[in-house]
Structure 1
Amino acid sequence: MKRTFVALAVLQGLALPAAAATQQQPQADEVERIVVTGVRQRLEQNGTLADAIMKTEVIGMMQIENHNAVNLTEAIDTSPGVRVSNECSMCGVKRIMLNGMKGEQTTILVDGLPVHTMISGFYAVDAIPTTGIESIEVARGAGASLIAPEAIGGTVNVISLEPYENTLELDLAIDGEGCQKMGLMGGAISDDGMTRATVVAQYDDRDQVDNSGNGVNESPHQSNRSFIGRVSHDIGNSDNLVLRVANLHSEVFGGPMLGEVFADGKAHSVGSVLSSFDGIDTDPQDLFVDGDVRNQYIGKAWEMTEWIETERNEVSLSWLHEFSADLNTTTSAVYADHTQDSFYEGFDYTAKDTMWYAESKTNYRFHPDHLLTFGADYRNEEMRSSSHAGAENPAYISDSFDYEVIGLFIQDNWQPTDDLEIALALRYDTLTVDFTDPMKPGVELEESILSPRADIRYHHSSRVTSRLSAGRGYRAPLSFFETDHGILDGSLGFEIDINDLERSNSVSYSLNYTGDRFTATASAAWTEVENLAVLDETDEGVPLLTQLDEKARVITTDIALGYSVSEDLQLNLTAEYYDYDDNFASSYAIAPIEERVMMSADWRIQQWELFAAASWIGSRDLTRYGYEGYNRVLADGSVDLSSEKTTQAPSYVSIDLRAAYALNDVFSVYAGVSNLLDYTQAGDEDTPLFFDDEGALDVGYIYGPLVGREIYAGIKLKF
């Protein structure tokens, strides 16, 4: 990503040292601009930090604002090949799916570094703020990043904003459903332009949503807060240091609607519900009026409660040294810890996941046509979990693990002609996976693996470009969170039958046309996975993390069109189709999308910025994904066969509108509506609660949106 730091000389009066790389350009309006380029930015511009040429979607700040995206999942949900899956109506856990792969097969990076632990991709993804983000890069396909071979689906790289001037921005918003957001960003640049610092703070809060009116939410209450500090400092003309620290906190409460009365009293607060736990379960037929999940919930509040509190700390330090115009080295270190305290309908679960990561990478242009990238990395992750409820079971097995990886990588970026560029990459990794519970003796996985990848870009003409990528990847299945919400039955323990790595092969092709007004990109991707992790259970009903014997396959096709009607009006259309084979379909906890069409219009009229977007999701046969459930259970505990839930998910349309008006250079206001048509599964179709064929209550019969129309308004101040 190319980034320059621009300061108006007439406003800033910056005095640049001779050592700084600068360029002065007189403008037609005779306002002089001084372009200040830092060490990293200069190397990015001349190509000597490049390590990839694969197709990458870039989501900029304007797109994030147009969708009123509060967090990462909202910012990328409408990007081609990306789907954010809401996999629980109680706790609202989100999974970021790329190229039709499962959420756990996506790796989240920040400034190119893996700061997320294994379990942090399930809770607190919604706590990743959009305040202070310059852009988000989405690269799809196995091995899409040299440092993330486990990203079978691809990578999402969050790029931090660096200031180009001293600035302070404040964003305040609220909607009619009790949601609120406050984002604060401060940026400072030193007089000599060598130091750039950013401080980010964001708080957002969302209320529970109960569209079915049965006293149980379809979308939980969630509050997030984050503090991020980042400093980039150039030492002379050849060195750059970047230090980033972050603290993120998330609390989710889902289940009984706070303020309502249940069998054990009024749900005054989160604390009162959790403290009401007595360990005595209500019979399923007595949880709802007439035993029907469409009627009022009359059980105890704690029996439907899922509460998750997450705290994450991140520290990363990166040092870039330029030896010459053709040789540079980047050395990075990351520390991250993720702590979860949670309560799942009577089962308490606490986990602490700590990760250390180190990397050294060298870029060497040994020939005008060859850029060689090589290096090594190390990852050590330790997760320890505990449960009071589990400790009461002598057969309880925890899901604690140790994970260690040592990797070597090399890539040659070769440009034999002006029109052809080829990147050939290879990683070699040795890894160890050990589930550490005393009842799981021995090391489960101890392997070495090669992961090759090839990317080719060819310019057929100045307007038409082809990209072809092929690669292999791997992933170690480690967490019960990743498969069908297996944590819900955790009081029985966690059985693990993982003997192999997930291994994938993928091929993708895209053809791009760029005209003066019209752009078009058509893409296709094929991915096959061996040893795909799935959740099963033992004969005793204990959750079992195991693997499919057969290979699983997904084919993704999409086309993205853009047309500039004028300099002020941009139209876009994207159409996607996903083809899952039966093996892959059987592994999903929640039915993924199969067809999607998205249209948007962005219109600038003087101080106005108007945006409209519409999405169509095609109908689906839910039986392919294992859906079977009933709305009512009888007095004897058996299900009412006449209350069988639908197995055909209908198609639907969602429309978003937004208008922003800049009163002046400092003050702007905006307002909009999400899901204008107010279609929700629970409000228009059926609640996601259901009874399985044995009469047990579950919460994941999800196939449509769970949050209805949201009208919002806000103000932005920039000093």
Structure 2
Amino acid sequence: MKKTYIASLIISMMAPNFAFAGDEHQHEAAENVERITVTGVRQRLEQAGTLANTIMKTEVIGSDLIESKNAVNLTEAIDNSPGVKVSAECSMCGVKRIMMNGMKGEHTTILVDGLPVHTMISGYYAVDAIPTTGISRIEVARGAGASLIAPEAIGGTINVITEEPIENGAEVDMSVGQEGYRKMSLLGKGVSEDGMTRLTLIGQYDERDQVDNDDNKVNENPSQENRSFTARLSHDVNDTNNVVLRVSNIYSEVFGGPMLGETFADGKMGSKSQIIGSYDGVDSAQLFEGGDVRNDYVGKAWETTEWIETVRNEVSLSWLHDFSDDLNVTLSASYADHEQDSFYEGFDYYAEDTMNFYDARFNYVAHDDHLLTFGADYRTEEMRSQSLQGSSNADYTSDSFDYDVLGVYLQDTWQATDELEVNLALRYDQVKADFIDPAKQGTEIDESILSPRMDMRYRHTDELTSRFSAGRGYRAPLSFFETDHGILDGTKGFVIDVDDLERSTSANYSLSFEGEHFTATGSVAWTEVENLAALTETDDGVPKLTQLEEDASVMTYDIALGYQVTHDLTLNLTGEYFDYDSAFKSSYAIAPIEERVTFSVDYDVAGWELYASVVWIGSRDLSDYGYEGYNQVDSNGNVILSSKKTTDAPSYFTMDLRAAYELNETFSVYAGVANLFDYTQAGDEDTPLFYDADGGYDVGYIYGPLRGREAYVGLKATF
């Protein structure tokens, strides 16, 4: 593992004519020279093994697969990957939760280029606004402590890696489709003549309209408009120093509830501002014709409106210095400001969540067989919320909080034998979480905690490899959005009954076979969580964030098979089973999947790229997850028992297709369709709207797809 300081120059078949952008004679000269690409300081150390951890089982979603799926955002890119499920948890506001290893959405940590830039409330809104333009790959690592700097990732980490250019170029991608789907993206890539400076510029805009599959004038999937701008600059100061600066701005607007342009009790509503501005605080006697959620909505438009506007600014800076062949250090800092303005069926809620993160990490080659990684990090987060409606009530309690974590860590990567690699890591953290509302006296959480993790890789043969991981993790349950997607109480606010960290223990084993044409990986994972957060209500109906007394656990089993029939034809098949215990089931707001089979075909022929995937989801007993609801109430607001909703969620499958054709070196066209057979819960089964046993109206009786068929066409230009 010894290193030497050399400028690694790698021959590249695709390098640009950057140094010869002049007249025709210069272009002719460029064609006759050897084209080279300069490998930067970080890439050199990664290739040498002093920055990368290759022991842990990690699924990689490459840019080619992202493009084949026509994934507009992060949730579409990773959905249905092994062990990963994106759960839609509100038919009005469209909140998405990224679940890993059967854990809840709040147990997933999203990193960008290895650094945290997502606050506590970032994982609930604007996840759909994280663009896929300019992403080189997405690394999915499952299990507690999957990242040294993210011990709270009980389910695992998703690391979004921004493309670092090796040549000059640009890409423009435009597509349109059904249900108001539009997307435009721009990607610019620049490399200096000496290869020391690399710049990536990314811009993306996308939108979709509301969807009302059962034609009751209320959507099952909201409209969403996203736009984002990102710039990433990597500069090699010299052969031993590299600096990376990344800045990003993301904007998202979600509007759900009444279908725009329809007529309601307060008249015809043609704009979002008109609907929100019509709020008068007087509830309608009846929301739906005949008191049945399957019939036309006849209440006031604002009574079902959920509007969320999100602005997120991110900045990260990282400096890498290579002291010697045996020692390097990376100093990193990241800043994120997440601002949310929202309106929930008459309740206004504004929040700003600001996070600062600092990390100093050293890598030291202690011996030819030992690489030590050690360092310290500090995270501070401040969330402040307010409500004009809430502030007018003396009993209102806000959910504002302060969160601070100071941690130190040590990791030893040991090449025990030629066949066996072992990675041992330990973190020590001092954690403080404090809800600061005057009604909340004292500090809720002030704890010290140790989080160990072990990863092992054993090569049985050249084709057969075992991996085993085990670890402990923790998380502070601080946000109501993680348990009830923002359906808040405008009268008394929140009741907070949290005084312990969630603590997890997990273990994962996988066996992989990699042959010339056939690959297979089978894995089993177990996770147990103490003090799992859950949402209940007080006797007065106020949301109460509390914790389960019993431990909750889940087992996941999956097998992934791949077969390369020919050089141009690849088949993939994945089967998964999730086994939740009763405690875990009781904590879910929306029933998770239990069985899933995914099959995909990738075929490249004669300039065509063809991709098809089929996803099958098994049936579920919704009563296991506390589902109980009714479609109809009488004139007195009492539920009609004969209208009780089913608790048998049927199995179903969806199919996606995409075809792309390369017209020439610059232009390609593509067309496809998502959810080809247009299967949706509201269109084929039952609406996600319901009344609870007390006659209260809600929107989360969800167990199937909420958005139907979406056909699209597009044009991509690469320069």
- Bucket of the pairwise TM-score, normalised by the shorter protein: over 0.9
Match of 1:23 in 2: none
What are the superposed Cα offsets for residues 394-430 of structure 1, whole Å, 9 maximum, x if unpaired? 1110000000000000000000111100000000000
Shift in Å, 1:604: 0.4
Matched, 1:42 2:28: no
Q: Deviations over 1:310-340 (max 9, x none)?
A: 0000000000000112211000011110000
Report the Cα distance in structure 2 between the residues aligned to 1:435 and 1:5, rounded to whole angstroms: 54
In 1, Cα distance between equivalents of 2:11 and 2:193: 13
1:265 to 257, 264, 267: 267
The one-letter code matched in structure 2 to 1:88 is C
Residue number in structure 1 paired with 2:608: 608
User: Quick check: 1:12 aligned with 2:17?
Assistant: yes
Structure 2 vs 1, CA of residues 643 and 408 (structure 1 numbering), >3 Å: closer, same or farther?
A: same
The answer on whether the counterparts of 2:240 and 2:323 sit within 8 Å (CA) in structure 1 is: yes
| Residue segments in structure 1 that go unaligned for 5+ positions in a row | 16-28
TM-score (norm 2): 0.96
Q: Residue by residue, what CA displacement relative to the aligned partner does 1:130-183 show, whole Å, maximum 9, x if unpaired?
A: 001000000000000000000000000000001111111000011022110001
Quick one: which of 169, 186, 192 aligns to 2:194?
192
- Which of 148, 151, 166 is residue 149 of structure 1 equivalent to? 151
- Matches of 1:499 and 1:350 in 2, distance apart? 25
Q: 2:79 aligns with which of 73, 77, 80?
A: 77
Q: Which runs of 5+ in 2 are unaligned?
A: 1-7, 21-30
Aligned twin of 2:376: 376
Deviation >4 Å, runs of 4+: 3-11
SS in structure 1 of the partner of residue 466 of structure 2: strand
C-alpha contact (below 8 Å) 1:574/1:597 kept by paired residues: yes
Task: Judge conservation of contact 2:18–2:168 (CA < 8 Å) in 1.
Answer: no
Taking a change above 3 Å as real, the CA distance of residues 11 and 142 of structure 1, as seen in their structure-2 partners, is: closer
Q: 1:347 to 1:718 in 2, by over 3 A?
A: same
SS at match of 1:268: coil
| TM-superposed deviation, 1:11 | 4.7
How many angstroms does 1:606 deviate by? 2.2
Given residue 538 of structure 1, which amino acid in structure 2 is its aligned partner?
A: T
Alignment partners' CA distance in 2, 1:491 and 1:252: 24
Q: What is the aligned partner in structure 2 of residue 223 from structure 1?
A: 225
Could you give the per-residue CA deviations for residues 612-664 of structure 1, whole angstroms, max 9, x where no partner exists? 10010000000011100000001121101000001000000100000000011
Contact 1:486–1:535, Cα closer than 8 Å, also in 2: no
Residue 622 (structure 2) aligns with = 622
- Work out whether residues 263 and 298 of structure 1, in 8 Å CA contact, stay in contact via their aligned partners in 2: yes
Query: Displacement, 1:524?
Result: 0.4
**CA offset digits 1:577-601 (Å, max 9, x no partner):** 0000000001000000000000000
The 3-state SS of whatever aligns with 2:323 is strand
Whether contact under 8 Å (2:15, 2:36) holds in the other structure is: no
Q: Which residue is 2:27 aligned to?
A: none
After TM superposition, list the pairs within 5 Å mapping 1:631-642 onto structure 2: 631-642=631-642
Q: Distance in 2 between matches of 1:80 and 1:689?
A: 30
1:305-324 pair list within 5 angstroms: 305-324=305-324
Superposition deviation, residue 281 in structure 1: 0.9
Q: Are the equivalent residues in 2 in contact too, given 1:5–1:164 (CA < 8 A)?
A: no
Whether contact under 8 Å (2:579, 2:594) holds in the other structure is yes
Do the aligned residues in 1 keep the contact of 2:342 with 2:349 (CA within 8 Å)?
yes
CA contact (8 A) 1:407 1:427 kept: yes
- Figure out how many residues of one structure are paired with residues of the other and give that number: 702
Q: Measure how far apart 1:8 and its partner are.
A: 5.0
**Which of 177, 180, 185 is the matching residue for 1:175?**
177
Helix, strand or coil at the partner of 1:64: helix
Relative to 1, partners in 2 of residues 1:243 and 1:486: Cα closer, same or farther, differing over 3 Å? closer
Asked if structure 1 preserves the Cα contact closer than 8 Å seen for 2:37 and 2:166, the reply is no
Letter of the aligned partner of 2:337 in structure 1? D
Kindly, what percent of the aligned residue pairs are identical? 68
2: CA distance, partners of 1:642 / 1:487: 27
**Partner of residue 666, structure 1:** 666
Cα displacement (A) at 1:35: 3.5
Give the distance between the partners of 2:33 and 2:534, measured in 1 at CA.
62
Give the counterpart letter for 2:17 in structure 1: Q
Q: Which residue of 1 aligns with 2:399?
A: 399
Instruction: Give the deviation of 1:392 after TM superposition.
Output: 1.7
Conservation of the 8 A alpha-carbon contact between 1:127 and 1:225: yes
Q: 1:54 to 1:491 in 2, by over 3 A?
A: farther
Task: Indicate the residue corresponding to 2:591 in structure 1.
Answer: 591
Which structure 2 residues correspond to residues 421-432 of structure 1 after superposition, within 5 A? 421-432=421-432
Q: Which residue of 2 aligns with 1:98?
A: 100
The residue correspondences of 1:631-710 to structure 2 (distance < 5 A) are 631-710=631-710
The answer as to whether partners of 1:692 and 1:698 remain within 8 angstroms in 2 is yes
Residue type at the aligned position of 2:595? E
AA of the residue aligned to 2:196:
M
Report the secondary structure of 1:455's partner residue.
Answer: strand
Q: What CA distance in whole angstroms lies between the structure 1 residues aligned with 2:65 and 2:478?
A: 34
Using the alignment, how far apart are the partners of 1:4 and 1:223 within structure 2?
43
What secondary structure does 1:280 align onto? coil
CA RMSD of aligned residues (A): 1.4
Return closer, same or farther for 1:34/1:264 CA change in 2, 3 Å cut-off.
same
Paired residues for 1:48-127 under 5 Å: 48-51=50-53, 53-127=55-129
